[in-house]
Structure 1
Amino acid sequence: MKRVEGKIALVTGAANGLGRATAAVLAREGALVLLTDIDDAGGEAAAEGIRAAGGKARYCHHDASSPDDWASVLARLDEAHGRLDILVNNAGGGTYNDIETVSLEQWRRIMAINLDATFIGTQSAIRWMKNTGGGNIINVSSVAAFSAAPNLAAYCAAKAGINMLSKSAAVYCGQKGYNIRINVVHPGLIETRSGVEMARLATGAARDEDAIAMFTALHPIGRIGQPDDIANGILYLASDESRFVTASSLIIDGGFTAV
């Protein structure tokens, strides 16, 4: 039996990396998935790959930091399906700036694409899901919410904000009786294009292989993560297997934060 059979899912930032892997896993397990991103070529390719594998998927251009884009995407979903069962707020990113050098413009941009995007998506989904029987919201944060990186001031702040925003919203929905669960996933370093780029910037390594080796040494499990490591955790939270789980933080980091 497929674990999210017949569910309608929306995954933001789905053109590459964790979002792409998550969309593929949800589709494989029976969901109809709407992939959104600002990378149209990557998003269309990801959706086509899912369809080629026998899954159900569509792509839609979507700047997750834009309230207007959220309204448009959700209106399309409402017209086509009348409900949203699973929302994965995955879109995000950051730049390497310490507290002395980060500009206000950079700070606001990092907040917009991480914390603001998650806030808008979570709020919009709650307002809809409460009238259609409920649903699951999974917000993607980072181990940077717990482990302070000296050159990631804005990113750490945004990811920590996602954590507490999600918990507050989950408690609110529970007390209101909305049948909406909200949880947070905190990935460690994952072998994606952006993940390896961040590792190189953090370590100053000249080659990807050197950066990966340096970060591997920080993980007790003996390797860095793969996108499916995170996607499978999201699948668990999106499925009925986690029906007693809300306001929780699922850390998937190979032991990085335990050291």
Structure 2
Amino acid sequence: MRQLEGKVAFVTGAASGIGAASAAALAREGAAVVVSDVDGVRAEALVETLTGSGSRAMALTQDVTDEAGWPEAVRAVERRFGRLDVMIANAGVAVKGLVTEMSLKAWRQQTAINLDGVFLSAKYAIPAMKRSGGGSIIVMSSVAGLRGSSGFSGYCASKGGARLFAKALALECAGLGDNIRVNSIHPGVIDTPLWDTIPLGKDGLGRRHIDAARMGHNDAPMGRAGTADEVASCVVFLASDSSSYMTGAEVVLDGGITAGAMPRRKI
């Protein structure tokens, strides 16, 4: 028996990177998967791949910051699959820049997607999960939600907020007896396309290539960047009954970055 047989999982920001890897891993474990992304074309392409492998999946073109679209998105999932068991609030964005150089627009873009989007994901998933008898909410935070990172103040603020939101929500759900668990994941340097899409802070128009492999080698005691599949394995664990006594927890996948400092040859 696969770990998530009969479950329905909703993944935001699922068209690429950690989101796409998570959707594929959940599908392999038997879950029906909702692939939600602002990029509807890529979401549809991933669904075609998943269904071609025999999995159940549907695509949603969705801006997670648009509250008006959330009720219909959840209704569509319940019409298609009859229930909702897992919500992975994964959609996120990072803008690089010093505070003095970052526009308020760029700051708000990060808080809107990384924090408001998480809030809305939970707000509209919880009633559906109650109808299903419970479930698991997984908030994709970051090591930047655990410690500061120069040049990424907005990202740190939003991911730190998401971390504590997950803990507070876990207590709410536990106190209400909803049988809904809430946990956060904190990836470190993960080799995904995100690093090639990070805009510069002043106007949000420039782009800076960041070599994730080099950063992982230099910053992580394990000497390498992580993979999206490694994060996806943690998503499956938190979505499944294997983590049935976990709520309000934070799972750190950073190759040892937050454990402390150690000397390493730079490349």
Bin of the TM-score, shorter chain as denominator length: over 0.9
Report if the CA contact (8 A) 1:189-1:195 is conserved. Answer: no
Q: Distance in 2 between matches of 1:196 and 1:102?
A: 19
Find the counterpart in structure 2 of residue 65 from structure 1.
65
TM-score by length of 2: 0.90
Find the counterpart in structure 2 of residue 175 from structure 1.
175
Find the counterpart in structure 2 of residue 163 from structure 1.
163
Structure 1 residue 196: deviation in Å? 5.2
When the two chains are superposed, the root-mean-square deviation of aligned CA atoms in Å is 1.9
**Deviation readout 1:118-152 (Å, 9 max, x if unpaired):** 00111111233223311110010111011211111
Report if the CA contact (8 A) 1:136-1:181 is conserved. Answer: yes
TM-score by length of 1: 0.93
Report if the CA contact (8 A) 1:39-1:61 is conserved. Answer: yes
Find the counterpart in structure 1 of residue 256 from structure 2.
255
Find the counterpart in structure 1 of residue 205 from structure 2.
none
Report if the CA contact (8 A) 2:189-2:215 is conserved. Answer: no
Structure 1 residue 207: deviation in Å? 6.9
Q: Distance in 1 between matches of 2:131 and 2:6?
A: 19
Report if the CA contact (8 A) 2:11-2:87 is conserved. Answer: yes
SS at structure 2 position matched to 1:212 = helix
Q: Which runs of 4+ in 1 moved over 6 A?
A: none
Q: Distance in 2 between matches of 1:78 and 1:197?
A: 33
Q: Assess, with a 3 A threshold, how the Cα gap between structure 1 residues 196 and 207 changes in structure 2: closer, same or farther.
A: closer
* Structure 1 range deviating more: 226-235 or 124-133: 124-133
1:147 matched to 2:138:
no
Q: Distance in 1 between matches of 2:15 and 2:69?
A: 17
Q: Assess, with a 3 A threshold, how the Cα gap between structure 1 residues 140 and 207 changes in structure 2: closer, same or farther.
A: closer
Q: Assess, with a 3 A threshold, how the Cα gap between structure 1 residues 22 and 96 changes in structure 2: closer, same or farther.
A: same
SS at structure 2 position matched to 1:232 = helix
Q: Distance in 2 between matches of 1:29 and 1:40?
A: 24
Report if the CA contact (8 A) 1:93-1:113 is conserved. Answer: yes
1:92 matched to 2:115:
no
Find the counterpart in structure 1 of residue 5 from structure 2.
5
- What's the % identity of the aligned pairs? 39
Structure 1 residue 19: deviation in Å? 0.4
Q: Distance in 2 between matches of 1:48 and 1:54?
A: 10
- Which amino acid counterpart does residue 32 of structure 2 have in structure 1? L
How many positions carry a matched residue from both structures? 254
Find the counterpart in structure 2 of residue 36 from structure 1.
36
SS at structure 1 position matched to 2:15 = coil
Q: Distance in 2 between matches of 1:102 and 1:242?
A: 40
Find the counterpart in structure 1 of residue 265 from structure 2.
none
- Which amino acid counterpart does residue 216 of structure 1 have in structure 2? H
Q: Distance in 2 between matches of 1:230 and 1:152?
A: 21
Report if the CA contact (8 A) 2:64-2:117 is conserved. Answer: yes
Q: Distance in 2 between matches of 1:39 and 1:148?
A: 30
Structure 1 residue 54: deviation in Å? 2.1
**Deviation readout 1:196-233 (Å, 9 max, x if unpaired):** 555x99xxxx9765x52243121111210110010000
Structure 1 residue runs of 5 or longer lacking an equivalent are none
